[in-house]
Structure 1
Amino acid sequence: MTSLEIVNPGTGEPVASVPAATPEDVDRAVGAAHAAQRDWGRLGYADRGKVLHAMAEAFEAHVDELTPILVREQGKTIREAKIELRKAADTLEHYAGLSRQVRAVSIHNVDTDVDGRVLRRPLGVVAAIVPWNFPTTLLCNKLGPALLCGNTVVAKPADSTPLTTLRLGEIFAEAGVPEGVFTVLPGTGAVAGEALVRHPLVRKVAFTGSTPVGERVAALAAVGSKRVTLELGGSDPMIICDDADLKSAASAAAMGRFYNCGQACLAIKRLYVFDSVADEIIEAVAAKAKRLRVGLGDDPNSQMGPLHSAKQRDQLERQIAESGGEVVAGGGRPDGLDRGWFHEPTVVVEPRKDSPMAVEEVFGPALPIWRVRDLDEAIELANASPFGLGSSVWTSDLRRAERAATELDCGYTWVNSRTKVYDELPFGGLKASGYGKEHGSEALDYYTDQKSVVVRRS
């Protein structure tokens, strides 16, 4: 049997190995999920909500146990791991709370002596395919609404980060999740992932990952007309106007870029600053980058861990080298951290506007900054990207803020705010960043079928 070797990104050393699922394993897991879905789907929303609540409580109770597992397999710092795990548990609790608010739509007298109703019905088996950068939060974004709506879930974590998810599966079973309702299948995308997407009993695919792989998933899922939600890559712009709170804006830019070593779809990846305040912002962001303590994830003093893989670091180094511009902070590998895949927090001023840092997704701790004349130029450059996931604008002028929120081509805009995602608000992208929504009550529309029922009273 083929195994997955899990490597610590901070040391480059193996930490565990797990069996890789075969197509036969996928078939058994989907079959069990299909069989379990009938009884699970017949439960009321309130009963399913109670199970979600028990899952959230059990998850929260095991955060301290799960933290070192997540640090070892993903590379992030202890602080970042705890933030991720608690956020994932909160998402399950959010959907547990929604369980008593789901209502069927009724229309009285849609015709003479005729009433109409719109029912929500579960889709069936959901395939949840999750990447390595936030293995638990991105899982629970799918798991919460899918289970609440009466679906069962077969989850495939990234082949490099299955350990935390496997332990979560055990914790959820102990918390009362019925057998077959939630299954974790570690494996490769080419084998387990494709078998899961192709399986005829899978009725919905919820995928988070890169745009090329997401497009491949969508093509495979077209056979059988499966429902699909794609949360793909991003190259989120931030615009800082000349009337902004510059200190807060610079802090938000640095945190938004370097959190999780810059490995987030919603990271700040392009910064456009009005020319009159650009020098001040550049100096402040560069100073923050230089102060960050880079180190092993399990070192309590580390503020930024390694990149997840050697491939990720090679890609980042290529993008920086090919982009031009002035490197004002970082730019290379830190001294004394030779075993893992570390890179300095990096700030590059005025790389070419057609360079990799401008047009590709930069999935690592490197922030390009461009000077702009005004809001017109900033919005034009911000939208000149194939991606459309998130965006930010910092200004004290309400008219500027409203214009940016309206005209930026993306699914999320923060105004004078750090890039925090809220369970109460729908989240999803445009263009090469995917389609469909996660979070919010809107997510329920993507895990149910709305069925019309006509009742003649007479």
Structure 2
Amino acid sequence: MSTTDVIAFERGLFIDGAPRPLAGESLCITNPGTGEHVGRAASASAADVDAAVRSAHAAQPAWARLGYSARGEILAACAEAFEAHVDELVPLLVAEQGKTIREAKIELHKAPDTLAHYAGMSKEVRGVSVAGLAPGVDGRVIRRPLGVVAAIVPWNFPTTLLCNKLGPALLCGNTVVAKPADTTPFTTLRLAEILTEAGLPPGVLNVVTGTGPVAGEALVTHPLVRKVAFTGSTPTGEHVAALAAKGSKRVTLELGGSDPMIICEDADLAKAASAASMGRFYNCGQACLAIKRVYVMDSVADQVIESIAAKAGRLRVGIGSDPDAQLGPLHSRAQLEQLERQVDASIASGGELLVGGRRPGDEALANGHFYEPTVILDPAKDSPMAVEEVFGPALPIWRVADLDEAIALANSSEFGLGSSVWTQSLQTSERVAAELDCGYTWINSPTKVYDELPFGGLKASGYGKEHGSEAFDFYTDKKSIVVKRTL
């Protein structure tokens, strides 16, 4: 698919194994880097959502009866087909999301890896046997699928965040109705076609595109939906949880983050600075697990601050389809304006602007939502950069006197998603990992998420786990069975 092909893209919903013609209300999708029209997608009504959910509900019993091994084989075929179509999907993801070609390729190679990972776990899902509950009486605990899962996915990583849910949900015998963000529908719609062509039975994966207040709420409140898996902002997640409470639906929430990085005196400072730069500016800083606050020991602060600021200043800002671009646009005008407010207020609070802090002056970027990579030193501890989730390419750095201060400041946030510490001391790293209030801590490592490890947050960052075998607990119900061997 060429860039020219993308610009006229028009798609309806994907229900019961087939795309539907575009009809009724529609969404107009634009390229965040150029402002150009990408295409139109359906804006689902409550009736459309009902059709998708009923399709998933009808398909679920047969899908569950296939068993883990057969479902694993189908997931493996889906992963292989997905990987084979990456080159087709790259320009589509770049056009609707805005990210660079390199970042799109990274995302689109990671997503099928997650499907393949869960396909490989098809023989690892086990129940429990309890012998001798009483004379002649044994017990078993089995896992049963929940039924129809609503997978609600944001715009920053449309395919990886979807596959985080698809992998365990489908392997466990559930069917899925996915709702991508209303600004990034196309890659998800095409992916549903690819997976169905690879062997996913009709109705096992349906896609409804549309707005949160209409399509999203209809999906979350539908009586046949038994589980809602949501990734997005904390305020929206709390609203979703409240809606899902009616009907006692299962819910997992992967919400916002303000991830701290602590850099100690004995750290490999060059690697720590590189990890901070990559962790903050990847995907234009639009990631829940981005490094959003850096606390560096005063004795080594000058070297670290200089290195991070220099790296930020060298990043090439450009339209996602530019192969030389290293930093694409923010996804929306509202996102850009929010970032400007946060940066300006943090500088006004006493922060020192080291690099960036404005929109680029390049006329070629004037129609996009671009912002220069920005580094601010020592803004006030109650400034927006310190207390809010900052979803953009701006990094605050604070000097700290010791580890106690660093841990206290790191934990002062309402969020608790990820964190990292850089030190050569085993004692220091173990203490920090144990005391930070978050669901994930990297020690001397870039902030890469692994399918093998459970991922999820604390506090305002949500609850429940994705990835790892722990994800099965959130897509199955454990049922107790008592067997009396003799009458």
Please classify the TM superposition score into its range, dividing by the shorter chain length. over 0.9
**Inter-partner Cα distance in structure 2 for 1:31 and 1:19:** 19
What is the DSSP-based 3-state SS (H/G/I as helix, E as strand, rest coil) of the residue aligned with 2:119? helix
2:108 is matched by which residue type in structure 1? L
**Inter-partner Cα distance in structure 2 for 1:163 and 1:118:** 41
The residue that corresponds to 1:295 in the other structure is 318
TM-score of the aligned structures, taking structure 1 as reference length:
1.00
The residue that corresponds to 1:90 in the other structure is 113
**Inter-partner Cα distance in structure 1 for 2:42 and 2:174:** 26
The residue that corresponds to 2:464 in the other structure is 436
Q: CA deviation at 1:106?
A: 0.9
2:430 is matched by which residue type in structure 1? E
The residue that corresponds to 2:242 in the other structure is 219
1:20 is aligned, of 40, 43, 68, to 43
The residue that corresponds to 2:20 in the other structure is none
- After TM superposition, list the pairs within 5 Å mapping 1:150-165 onto structure 2: 150-165=173-188
The residue that corresponds to 1:411 in the other structure is 439
2:353 is matched by which residue type in structure 1? V
The residue that corresponds to 2:21 in the other structure is none
1:273 is aligned, of 290, 296, 320, to 296
The residue that corresponds to 1:9 in the other structure is 32
1:451 is aligned, of 458, 463, 479, to 479
- After TM superposition, list the pairs within 5 Å mapping 1:99-138 onto structure 2: 99-138=122-161
- After TM superposition, list the pairs within 5 Å mapping 1:233-252 onto structure 2: 233-252=256-275
The residue that corresponds to 1:334 in the other structure is 360
1:44 is matched by which residue type in structure 2? G
The residue that corresponds to 1:188 in the other structure is 211
**Inter-partner Cα distance in structure 1 for 2:204 and 2:357:** 47
1:437 is matched by which residue type in structure 2? K
Q: Residues 68-125 of structure 1, C-alpha deviation per residue, up to 9 Å, x if partnerless?
A: 0000000000010010011100000000000011112111222221111100000000
What is the DSSP-based 3-state SS (H/G/I as helix, E as strand, rest coil) of the residue aligned with 2:467? coil
The residue that corresponds to 1:353 in the other structure is 381
Q: Residues 136-160 of structure 1, C-alpha deviation per residue, up to 9 Å, x if partnerless?
A: 0000000000000000000000000
Q: CA deviation at 1:2?
A: 1.3
- After TM superposition, list the pairs within 5 Å mapping 1:380-395 onto structure 2: 380-395=408-423
**Inter-partner Cα distance in structure 2 for 1:404 and 1:104:** 35
Bigger CA drift: 105-114 or 392-401? Answer: 105-114
1:353 is matched by which residue type in structure 2? K
1:328 is matched by which residue type in structure 2? L
**Inter-partner Cα distance in structure 2 for 1:219 and 1:85:** 33
**Inter-partner Cα distance in structure 1 for 2:264 and 2:42:** 52
The residue that corresponds to 2:345 in the other structure is 322
Aligned length, in residue pairs: 458
What is the DSSP-based 3-state SS (H/G/I as helix, E as strand, rest coil) of the residue aligned with 1:251? helix
**Inter-partner Cα distance in structure 2 for 1:103 and 1:455:** 18
- After TM superposition, list the pairs within 5 Å mapping 1:191-202 onto structure 2: 191-202=214-225
The residue that corresponds to 2:12 in the other structure is none
**Inter-partner Cα distance in structure 1 for 2:353 and 2:136:** 73
Please say if 1:147 is aligned against 2:170: yes
TM-score of the aligned structures, taking structure 2 as reference length:
0.94
Please say if 1:375 is aligned against 2:403: yes
**Inter-partner Cα distance in structure 2 for 1:408 and 1:398:** 16
The residue that corresponds to 2:198 in the other structure is 175
**Inter-partner Cα distance in structure 2 for 1:265 and 1:100:** 32
Structure 1, unaligned runs of 5 or more: none
Task: Report percent identity of matched pairs.
Answer: 75
The residue that corresponds to 2:19 in the other structure is none
The residue that corresponds to 2:4 in the other structure is none
Structure 2, unaligned runs of 5 or more: 1-23
Q: Residues 12-54 of structure 1, C-alpha deviation per residue, up to 9 Å, x if partnerless?
A: 1111001111000001110110010010011110000011001
Q: CA deviation at 1:441?
A: 0.2
The residue that corresponds to 2:233 in the other structure is 210
2:270 is matched by which residue type in structure 1? K
1:333 is matched by which residue type in structure 2? R
The residue that corresponds to 2:16 in the other structure is none
Bigger CA drift: 325-334 or 425-434? Answer: 325-334
What is the DSSP-based 3-state SS (H/G/I as helix, E as strand, rest coil) of the residue aligned with 2:338? helix
2:78 is matched by which residue type in structure 1? M
What is the DSSP-based 3-state SS (H/G/I as helix, E as strand, rest coil) of the residue aligned with 1:86? helix
Please say if 1:398 is aligned against 2:426: yes
